[in-house]
Amino acid sequence: MKTVVVITGASQGIGAAIARAFARAVPGVVLALVARNARKLGAVAKACGRLGAKAEVFPCDVTDAAAVAQLAVSVRRRLGPVDVLVNNAGKFVSAPFTTMTVAQFDEVLAANLRSTFLVSRAFVPAMVRRGRGDVFNMGSIAGLDAYRGGTGYSAAKFGVRGLSKVMRAELRDKGVRVCCVEPGATSSPSWAGSGVDPRRMMPADDVAQAFVGVYQLSRRTVVEEIVLRPQRGDV
Domain boundaries, the chain: 3-228
219-231 mean pLDDT: 97
165 pLDDT tier (thresholds 50, 70, 90): very high
59-81 mean pLDDT: 98
Q: Which of 234, 156, 224 is nearest to 202 (CA)?
A: 234
Query: Is pLDDT of 232 > 80?
Result: yes
Residue 196's pLDDT is what?
Answer: 82
What does the chain come to in residues? 235
Alpha carbon distance 102, 182 (integer Å): 26
Mean of all residue pLDDT scores within the chain: 96
How buried is residue 10: exposed, middle or buried, by Cβ count under 10 Å (0-12/13-18/19+)?
buried
Q: What percent of the chain has pLDDT over 70?
A: 100
Residue 115's pLDDT is what?
Answer: 98
Residue 191's pLDDT is what?
Answer: 73
b/e code 188-223 from CB counts within 10 Å (16+ = b): beebeeeeeeeeebbebbbbbbbbbebbeeeeeeeb
227-235 mean pLDDT: 94
Residue 187's pLDDT is what?
Answer: 87
Query: Is pLDDT of 87 > 80?
Result: yes
Backbone angles phi, psi at 182, to 5 degrees: -125, 85
Residue 149 near residue 96 (C-beta atoms within 8 A): yes
Residue 134's pLDDT is what?
Answer: 98
**pTM for the full predicted model:** 0.96
As beta bridge partners, residue 6 has 32, 85
Query: Is pLDDT of 9 > 90?
Result: yes
Residue 8 near residue 89 (C-beta atoms within 8 A): yes
Q: What is the pLDDT of residues 169-199, one digit of tens each?
A: 999 999 999 999 999 999 887 777 777 888 8
> CB within 8 A of 130, min separation 6: which ones?
81, 175
Helix 13-25 and helix 38-50, axial crossing angle in degrees, nearest 10: 30
Q: What is the pLDDT of residues 22-46, one digit of tens each?
A: 999 999 999 999 999 999 999 999 9
Q: Which of 196, 211, 234, 224 is nearest to 10 (CA)?
A: 211
Residue 169's pLDDT is what?
Answer: 98
Residue 212 near residue 163 (C-beta atoms within 8 A): no
Alpha carbon distance 137, 225 (integer Å): 10
Pick among 3.30.2090.10, 3.40.50.1950, 3.40.640.10, 3.40.50.720: CATH of 3-228: 3.40.50.720
Alpha carbon distance 84, 75 (integer Å): 12
- Cα–Cα distances (Å) from 69 to 36, 60, 76, 106, 155, in that order, read 15, 10, 11, 21, 26
Query: Is pLDDT of 82 > 80?
Result: yes
Q: What is the pLDDT of residues 103-133, one digit of tens each?
A: 999 999 999 999 999 999 999 999 999 999 9
Which segment of 46-50, 97-101, 186-190, 218-222 scores lowest on mean pLDDT? 186-190
